[in-house]
């Protein structure tokens, strides 16, 4: 069994070197460069796992009898590699969690600000509604006062006229009685007087009808003015609601467009940096790989087979 495990000796030596190097390296995970260097270091360590698996596969094919021992050694070695990886991935993941929490806090603050603006808008609308209601009550009070004053005036006119008519009839009846007693010949004069009284009464009634019609016209005018004011307030309220909705929609669209643009630029820069780093590691850094990427991006329509899939 020990003979079969000899195949892992080169890997043990390589892992020992990586362990020593891993303990000496220090990365600033909070900076883009530090995080990128740490991820590149982890990537090279991960390649050791592929070598371990390859040796494990060959050794297992040659010695199935010691498969369990080989698996145990592989798991042990993988555990050592995972420990080294965890040293760097823990702070990397911690940073990612802090960024996530910061973004959640920002979104919460934006939502609370939108809710505050909406509350202020509704409060302003409520104040305008209260003002409109107060104005409507004032118009109604004026209308009722005018109607009451007109009723009192008409009642006074009717009372005074009735008293005058009663007094006139009393006088006239006494006079007619005296006239009838004195001379039947004055009957014609009595009829003339009665006719004049009727004309006066008709004139008074006509005047009352005219006053009533004027009052009804004024009442309709006040009602129309009140309705016009209510319609104006409602139109202003609808216009304000539509304006605020449009402002909110425009703001949301602008924020989304800005966020999409920033996200796309960051993604492209990250992909380009990773590709240049891999090209330098595989083919060396004697060639200007950044210039090549700029050329491919500028002429991707002419070279579709060499375009970069972002």
pLDDT (tens digit per residue) in 125-161: 888 888 878 888 888 888 888 888 888 888 888 888 8
- pLDDT, residue 66, reads 62
Query: Residue 305: its pLDDT value, please?
Result: 47
Q: Give me the pLDDT at residue 308, please.
A: 54
Instruction: Give the pLDDT of residue 258.
Output: 66
Look at residue 248 in the predicted model and tell me its pLDDT: 79
Maximum separation of any 2 CA atoms in the chain, in Å? 168
Say what the pTM is: 0.28
Q: Which residues of 51-65 are buried (b: 16+ CB within 10 A; e: fewer)?
A: ebeebbeebbeebee
HEC readout, the chain: CCCHHHHHHHHHHHHHHHHHHHHHCCCCCCCHHHHHHHHHHHHHHHHHHHHHHHHHHHHHHHCHHHHHHHHHHHHHHHHHHHHHHHHHHHHHHHHHHHHHHHHHHHHHHHHHHHHHHHHHHHHHHHHHHHHHHHHHHHHHHHHHHHHHHHHHHHHHHHHHHHHHHHHHHHHHHHHHHHHHHHCHHHHHHHHHHHHHHHHHHHHHHHHHHHHHHHHHHHHHHHHHHHHHHHHHHHHHHHHHHHHHHHHHHHHHHHHHHHHHHHHHHHHHHHHHHHHHHHHHHHHCCCCCHHHHHHHHHHCCCCCHHHCCCC
How many residues appear in the chain?
310
User: Which residue, chain included where needed, has tokens 């009838």?
Assistant: 180
pLDDT at position 1 is 46
Contact yes or no for 11/48 (Cβ under 8 A): yes
What's the average model confidence in pLDDT over 54-60? Answer: 80
Residue 33 pLDDT > 80: yes
Instruction: Please tell me which residue, 111 or 253, carries the higher pLDDT value.
Output: 111
Q: In the prediction, which pLDDT does 197 show?
A: 79
Q: Which two tokens stand for residue 18?
A: 């990586």
What's the chain's average pLDDT? 80
Q: What is the pLDDT of residue 298?
A: 65
Q: What is the rounded average pLDDT of the residues 221-230?
A: 84
Q: pLDDT at position 186, please?
A: 65
**Which of the listed ranges 36-45, 200-209, 271-280 does the model predict with the highest average pLDDT?**
36-45
Confidence of residue 173 (pLDDT cuts 50, 70, 90): confident
**Can you tell me the mean pLDDT for 96-107?**
88
Q: What is the mean pLDDT of residues 193-211?
A: 82
pLDDT tens digits, residue range 226-266? 888 888 888 888 888 888 888 778 878 777 776 666 666 77
Q: For residue 81, how far is the Cα from the chain centroid?
A: 49
Picking from 89, 91, 79, 63, the residue whose alpha carbon sits closest to that of residue 2 is 63
Residue 34: alpha-carbon gap to chain centroid: 39
Distant-in-sequence, close-in-space partners of 147: CB < 8 Å, separation ≥ 6: 215, 219
Top mean pLDDT of 71-75, 92-96, 111-115 is at 111-115
- Among the residue ranges 39-48, 59-68, 149-158, the one predicted with the least confidence is 59-68
Model confidence at 300, in pLDDT bands (50, 70, 90)? low
Residue 202 pLDDT: 83
Is-contact 22 87, C-beta < 8 A? yes
């Amino acid at each position: 069994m020990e003979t079969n495990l000899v195949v892992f000796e080169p890997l043990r030596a390589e892992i020992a070197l990586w362990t020593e190097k891993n303990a000496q390296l220090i990365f600033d995970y909070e900076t883009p460069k530090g995080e990128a260097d740490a991820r590149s270091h982890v990537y090279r360590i991960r390649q050791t796992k592929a070598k371990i698996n390859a040796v494990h596969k060959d050794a297992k094919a040659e010695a199935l009898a010691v498969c369990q021992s080989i698996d145990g050694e592989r798991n042990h070695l993988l555990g050592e590699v995972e420990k080294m990886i965890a040293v760097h991935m823990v702070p990397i993941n911690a940073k990612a969690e802090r960024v996530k929490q910061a973004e959640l806090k920002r979104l919460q603050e934006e939502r609370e600000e939108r809710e505050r603006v909406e509350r202020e808008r509704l409060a302003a609308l409520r104040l305008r509604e209260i003002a409109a209601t107060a104005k409507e009550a004032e118009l109604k009070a004026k209308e009722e006062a005018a109607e009451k004053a007109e009723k009192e005036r008409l009642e006074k006119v009717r009372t005074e006229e009735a008293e005058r008519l009663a007094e006139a009839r009393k006088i006239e009846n006494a006079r007619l009685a005296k006239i009838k007693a004195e001379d039947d010949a004055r009957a014609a004069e009595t009829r003339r007087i009665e006719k004049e009284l009727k004309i006066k009464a008709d004139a008074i009634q006509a005047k009352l009808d005219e006053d009533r019609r004027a009052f009804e016209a004024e009442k309709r005018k006040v009602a129309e003015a009140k309705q016009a004011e209510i319609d104006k307030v409602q139109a202003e309220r609808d216009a304000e609601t539509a304006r605020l909705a449009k402002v909110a929609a425009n703001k949301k669209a602008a924020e989304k467009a800005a966020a999409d643009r920033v996200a796309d630029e960051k993604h492209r820069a990250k992909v380009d940096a990773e590709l240049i780093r891999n090209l330098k590691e595989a083919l060396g850094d004697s060639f200007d790989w950044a210039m090549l990427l700029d050329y491919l991006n500028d002429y991707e329509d002419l070279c579709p087979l060499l375009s970069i899939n972002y």
